[in-house]
Amino acid sequence: MSETTSSKHVPRLLLTGAAGGLGKVLRERLRPYADILRLSDIASLAPPAGPHEEVVPCDLSDKKAVDALVAGCDAIVHLGGVSVER
């Protein structure tokens, strides 16, 4: 790991909205910043790319599911939501 990423490294990072356009790009780009990248969306996601990824489908309107989703995470990049723009 480079010196520039070492101070920003976390054991487990959660990315919500991982099936969206930006989420798909960040899935690759966030890898250097976490040991485990936990990916979540209500939409279908590609399977984990290896032992450094976890795929956890979640409806963010379900409080119990969200509590379970964030358990053990050290940082969250929250992009999950309903887009109303056209």
Instruction: Check pLDDT > 70 for residue 64.
Output: yes
- Quick one: pLDDT at residue 81? 87
- Quick one: pLDDT at residue 83? 75
Distance of CA 17 to the CA centre of its chain: 7
Residue 69 in any domain: the answer is yes
- Quick one: pLDDT at residue 27? 96
Residue 84 in any domain: the answer is no
Strand order of the sheet with strand 53-55?
53-55, 34-40, 10-16, 75-78
The residues that bridge with 46 in the sheet, in sequence order, are: none
Helices (H), 1-86: 3-6, 21-29, 63-70
Which H or E run contains 13?
A: strand 10-16
Q: What's 14's domain CATH number?
A: 3.40.50.720
Residue 86 in any domain: the answer is no
Q: How many structural domains is the chain composed of?
A: 1
Residue 10 in any domain: the answer is yes
- Quick one: pLDDT at residue 8? 84
Domain span at residue 43? 3-78
Band (pLDDT 50/70/90 cuts) for residue 1 is: very low
Residue 40 in any domain: the answer is yes
Instruction: Check pLDDT > 70 for residue 20.
Output: yes
pTM equals 0.87
